[in-house]
Structures are given as C-alpha cells and as structure tokens.
Structure 1
Amino acid sequence: MKYFNYILLLVISTTFFTCGPYSFTGAETGDAKTFQVNYFQNNAILIEPGLDRDFTLALQDLITNQTNLSLVNSNGDLVYEGEITEYRISPTTATANNTAAQNRLTIRVNVRFYNKKKEEDDFEQSFSFYYDYAGSQQLVGSQKDTAIAEIFERLTQDIFNASLAKW
C-alpha cells in the first residue's frame, strides 16, 4: 500500500507538471492577459438593425469562453476592431419559372487584430460566411435568427482561429 501511494503521487505530479498551460481550443495567448472588442460598425449597403451589436457581443462571448483572457473596454493586450461590410441576400439556384429555388444570406466582416505583446501577429483580414434557405421562405423571425446565429458562429470561430489558434 505504501508503494501504491508513492506511485500515485508520482503519476499525479508528473501529469500536472508536464502538461503545463494547455488550451483545448488551441489558443495561444502568450503573455496577454486582457482583450477588447471594439464596436463593429455596420457599413453594409443593406442594414439589418442590431446586427453590429449582436456581432460584437458574439465575438466577445467566444473569446471569453475559449480563453482565460479578461474582457476590458480599453488598453487591452489584444484588440479586435472592424466593420460589417456586407449583408446580402441573393438567389443561388433558380426554378424553371425563373424564381429562386434557394436563397443565400451572406455576411462579411473586415477585422483588424492588434497584439500589443507580439506585434508580428497583427493583421487585417476579411471573413465571410453564408446560410442557404429555401426560396419559398422569407428570411424573418426564427428563420433569420437561425441564419444569423449560424453565420456568427462560423465567423467568430474563424476570427478566433486566425488570431489566437493560428489555423
């Protein structure tokens, strides 16, 4: 029993000391302790009310949930800013009657990322994703909420991967 306790202590110690700081999301925050997400203005030609606020909050939530960084309003070690540049609904396929069989909502954001601790990681990049829905449906209510949520999930994850996961 005495040897079992020593072996157990050795296994536990080795596990904690060899793993070190590891993130299951693959995020590499370096020396950064804080981040800020500046308000993303909606500069798209077609304006969807509240889209700018909802996107800013979605990006803040994702980074908060996938890192141990603290959200601040100013002087963050990592800074995200940009604008929504496109909100577009377009037909993707047509029927024999020249009506849309399927429509696509596309949202594009331009992101500027600044890492005050490691400036070589700074970038400006455009991210875009879409949601397809039946041409016979209107993009309103829960259909619109589902579309925007799915697009935001993909956009925010792509931004996270580009800035912190380096994927």
Structure 2
Amino acid sequence: MKLRRSLSFCLFSFFFFLQSCYSFTGSSLSPETKTIQIKDFPNNAALMNPNLAQQFSTDIQNRFLQRTTLKGAAENPDILIEGEITDYSITPTTISSAVNAPGGNIQAAQNKLTITVKVHYENKIEPDKSFDRTYSDEAVFSSDLDINAIEASQVKVVNERIINKIFNDIVANW
C-alpha cells in the first residue's frame, strides 16, 4: 500500500513537472497572444504558377487558425505574418540519355521543384521573437509527370513542408 502511494505520488509529480516545463498544446506563444493576421502571399517568382499564391495563402491561414487558439483579426493583431513567394522553379536533377534515339538525345530522368518564400513575422506581445526569414523546400519527381500532375501533387507537398517550418518557428519555437 505504501509502495503504491509512493508510486502514485512520483507519477503525479513527474506529470506536474512535465506540464510546468512544456505546454501539451506545443505552443510557446504567450497566453496574452490572442489574435493573428496573415496577409496574402503574392507570387513574385519569375516562373508563374497561377494557383500558387492563393493555395499557399489559404494553407498557411488554415494551419494557424486550425492548430492554435488564435483568432483572425483584420486590424491591430497581436501577430502579423506576411510575405511573398520569391522563387518557383523546376530544374533537372538526374540526366539520362536515350541510347536508341537519333543523335543520342539527353533528357532529364528526374526533375526538382523548388519553392522559396520570404516571411515577415511580427509579434507585438513579444517583439524579441519577431523575424524576417526565407524558407525554401523542394520535391524530386519523375520527368514523366505533366505540369498538371506536378501542380496537383508536388506543389502541395512543398507548400506543406514550408508551412510546417514557418509554423514550428513561430508556434513551437524550435
């Protein structure tokens, strides 16, 4: 009985210690931080994907509004996130030669999609956490994919990775 009570006390103390060190919501935002404004991210990349700006802007807004307790604000937010898409490129990564083709044509076996986003984060409650950073990520895919397949699948993957990085830097503060 005494051992059981001691064990219960130890477990309770351990969980209390964990709670005091780390919020189980995973957020390092101040409890006073209540509102957020995320402006649209225009696509200023040389290569244009007509849906990229809207898709990225919607996805990042959804991430913060769905996974935090922050409420959207049109004016005077506690947190402001804005930025722009500065690069959208598709480049060959693996080259193969078509041996049976006349002239031995060289073609890409795999391509790489790279998206770069510049972010301005302003925290009015904790100004020392504000920053300006550039985030970039990529996805490698078969050169057999057409542009519609790339934009339907690979862009979504790269956007998700970039948004994860931004979210973690702001909310998880990792």
Match of 1:4 in 2: none
Give the TM-score taking structure 2 as reference length: 0.80
Paired letter, 2:169: A
Q: Secondary structure at the match of 2:74?
A: coil
Cα offset, 1:148, TM superposition: 1.4
User: Is residue 132 of structure 1 aligned with residue 140 of structure 2?
Assistant: yes
Cα offset, 1:145, TM superposition: 1.3
Distance in structure 2 (CA, Å) of the matches to 1:122 and 1:152: 22
Q: What RMSD over aligned residues (CA atoms) do the two structures have, in Å?
A: 2.2
Report which of the two structures shows the higher radius of gyration computed on alpha carbons: 2
Distance in structure 1 (CA, Å) of the matches to 2:121 and 2:37: 10
Cα deviation 1:26-65 (Å, max 9, x = unaligned)? 2212020011101111110011112111111111111112
Paired letter, 2:112: R
Q: Trace 1:6-155 onto structure 2 (pairs within 5 A).
A: 18=16, 19=19, 22-24=23-25, 26-30=26-30, 31-97=32-98, 98-141=106-149, 143-155=150-162
Q: Secondary structure at the match of 2:166?
A: helix
Amino-acid identity (%): 31
Q: How many equivalent pairs are there?
A: 154
Give the TM-score taking structure 1 as reference length: 0.83
Q: Secondary structure at the match of 2:151?
A: helix
Q: Secondary structure at the match of 2:160?
A: helix
Cα deviation 1:51-89 (Å, max 9, x = unaligned)? 111111111111112211111222110110010000101
> Where has structure 1 moved over 6 Å in runs of 4 or more?
none
Cα offset, 1:131, TM superposition: 1.5
Structure 1: runs of 5 or more not aligned: 1-6
Structure 2: runs of 5 or more not aligned: 99-105
